[in-house]
Structure 1
Amino acid sequence: MADKQQVHIVLVGFMGTGKSTVSQLLARRLDCETIDVDAEIERREGRSIPEIFAHRGEASFRKAETAALADVLSHEERKVIATGGGAVLAPSNCELMLDSALVVALTADAEQIISRVSQDASRPLLQGDLRQRVNQLMEDRKHAYDFAHLTIDTSKLNAHEVVDKIVAFLQQ
């Protein structure tokens, strides 16, 4: 990893852990741009993520995700990058992130995640029994975020407290 003061910061973690909110606050604090990879995919593809999943399937979405992530990480100036929860499923994405960024994994317990995503119908992987799907996906991805340089449990923290922890890590 390059110098912590200059490098991109990539937020990874399960859906509902706060990546999008934290990325915006952190970018403001660090006076840099934030990029949400899911929003970048939607911009490039001209359709929403649920539409991509429905029309082209998860494999096609994952390819678009890798391409968007690689492009965003190629920028010279520092960015705070929020990834989708499944971006870590491809080992090549994890290597790409580790090579060009400080990777921060945000975690939360299942009850917090269920509470945070229960009103969001735009998450294609949560169709059906929400509690069962969240628990199954969390089990499937139990170690998927272990590669991160820093892990922060957001279950009992607000977004500002999470940002404070990341900034403190950067200043070490």
Structure 2
Amino acid sequence: MIVALLGYMGSGKSTVGKQLAETLDYEFHDLDSLIEKKEQKSISKIFEERGEIYFRKLESEVLVETLNSKREIVLALGGGTPCYASNMQKLQNGNTISIYLKLSITELVNRLSNEQWQRPLIREIPIKELPEFIGKHLFERGFFYNQADKILEVDGKSVAEQVTAIKSLL
């Protein structure tokens, strides 16, 4: 089985995913890292050199390869992955359970404002404009995120509490 974690950047997909994989004795993979390994380039370099359309096509290909691997994996998706190339339908393959780690705008702003410099998408956005930017993105992506098999509200929950909650959903 594959457990695919989805949600907005900063929602904890990789942090929770690593801990969940360890607890379940599954492999952990981050989709962006798999893409970088395949291309031998950073995501930002891929965007810079080849553009978003190329990246989204590649992202979908790597997702399908991973979903077809028949291994026990916890997979952290990129924040935009569910929104492109019918990727949500690809997750509905009978071998995968998708879980949306849902955070409030306030909590996302708190998390992302501390690591804004690491996030190219929000690096140049003034802190005071971050809630509106995130809110707009969540509105646009919500249609896709809410198609997940399970939705887990994670505001105020520790990583350990989230892992326990996810295990109860499996």
TM-score (norm 1): 0.89
Equivalent position amino acid for 2:152 in 1: I
The answer for unaligned runs of 5 or more in structure 1 is: 1-6
What letter is aligned with 2:108? I
CA displacement at 1:91 relative to structure 2 = 5.2
Residue in structure 1 matched with residue 111 of structure 2 by the alignment: 116
Query: Is residue 32 of structure 2 the alignment partner of residue 25 of structure 1?
Result: no
Match of 1:88 among 67, 74, 82: 82
Cα drift, residue 159 of structure 1: 1.1
1:105 and 2:119 aligned: no
Relative distance call for 1:52 and 1:121 in structure 2 (3 A) is: farther
Normalised to the residue count of structure 2, the TM-score between the two structures is: 0.90
Helix, strand or coil for the counterpart of 2:4?
strand
Deviations along 1:88-137, whole A, 9 cap, x unmatched? 11252111111130110111011211222222434332243250432221
Q: Partners of 1:165 and 1:95 in 2: how far apart?
A: 24
Change (3 A) 1:107 1:145: same
Structure 2: segments with no counterpart, 5+ residues: none
Percent identity, aligned pairs only? 32
C-alpha contact (below 8 Å) 1:10/1:102 kept by paired residues: yes
Contact 1:16 1:117 in 2 (8 A): yes
Aligned counterpart, 2:137: 137
In structure 2, C-alpha distance between the alignment counterparts of 1:30 and 1:59, rounded to whole Å: 35
The answer to whether 1:10 aligns with 2:4 is yes
User: Tell me, what secondary structure is at the counterpart of 1:106?
Assistant: strand
Compared CA separation, residues 159 and 151, structure 1 to 2 (3 A): same
- CA deviation string 1:60-91 (max 9, x = no partner): 11111101111111111211100001011125
Q: Is the 8 A contact 1:50 1:123 kept in 2?
A: no
How far apart, CA to CA, are the structure 2 residues paired with 1:117 and 1:62? Answer: 23
- Moved runs in structure 1, 4+ residues, more than 3 A? none
Partner of 1:61: 55
Q: Residue 158 of structure 1: CA displacement?
A: 1.1
| Whole-Å separation in 2 of the counterparts to 1:78 and 1:60 | 28
How many residues are matched?
164
